[in-house]
Amino acid sequence: MEEKELPPENQKPSGSKEKFRAFIEKNKGIWQLIKFAFVSMLTAVIEIVTFAVLLMTLRNVNTPINWFIFNYEAIEGGGGGLGQLIAFLSSITIAQVLAFIINRKKTFKANNNLAFSITAYIIMVAVLIIGLQIYTAPLMVDAIDKALDNLTVTEFLVKVIQMLSTFVITFLCNKFIIMREK
């Protein structure tokens, strides 16, 4: 009896590379989530290293800043103030630019309008930083600390909640709105 050749979509992969490729193709969303998590970890390390280098470099640039939501007091002996603000904003900007580029090209393989993607990404990041991290953090700490009555545990719990929330929101916004593949 002669064996019929199956169409490519019905063929079973034979080698491990083919099986892996078949898994990725079948589970595209899961694979994107894995790549997104890896890029997030990589850019978090870059953000921390950049922040540390800038903080040490700008230690003597400690003019106090009190404007809008930015309240950076100078620290006696050096540190804080303008140097701390520059380190914070520069490190997060560098990390977000890298995350945008890598995720757009490698994770989501987006080919939608670049100007739209950049604008939407900037808005999303600004809302998450200002709204979720700067504005709601003290509100969450106050509310949760009333129940836990342990400020250190509460602060770390709020930080973890914010990090996980930011991760989920960013992934979903990127996948379904900002970095679509047409």
Q: How does pLDDT run across 87-112, given as a tens digit for each residue? A: 988 999 999 999 999 999 999 999 99
Residues 65 and 72: beta-carbon distance below 8 Å: yes
Q: Which residue has the tokens 């090209």?
A: 105
Top-ranked range on mean pLDDT: pick from 67-71, 117-121, 148-152: 117-121
Strands (E), the chain: 65-67, 70-72
Cα–Cα distances in Å, from 139 out to 18, 131, 135, 180? 50, 11, 7, 34
In the predicted model, is pLDDT for residue 3 greater than 70? no
CA angle 153, 155, 156 (to 5 degrees): 65
DSSP 9: G
**Hey, which residues does 119 pair with through a beta bridge?**
none
CA pair distance 107, 109, nearest whole angstrom: 6
Q: Could you tell me the two tokens for 108?
A: 């989501």
pLDDT, the chain, mean: 89
Q: Domain segments of the chain: what residues?
A: 15-107, 110-182
Query: With a threshold of 0.75, does the pTM exceed it?
Result: yes
Cα of 39 vs its chain's centroid, Å: 8
CA pair distance 77, 138, nearest whole angstrom: 27
* DSSP state string for 41-56: HHHHHHHHHHHHHHHH
Q: What is the pLDDT of residue 121?
A: 98
Q: What is the pLDDT of residue 2?
A: 58
Q: What is the mean pLDDT of residues 154-172?
A: 93
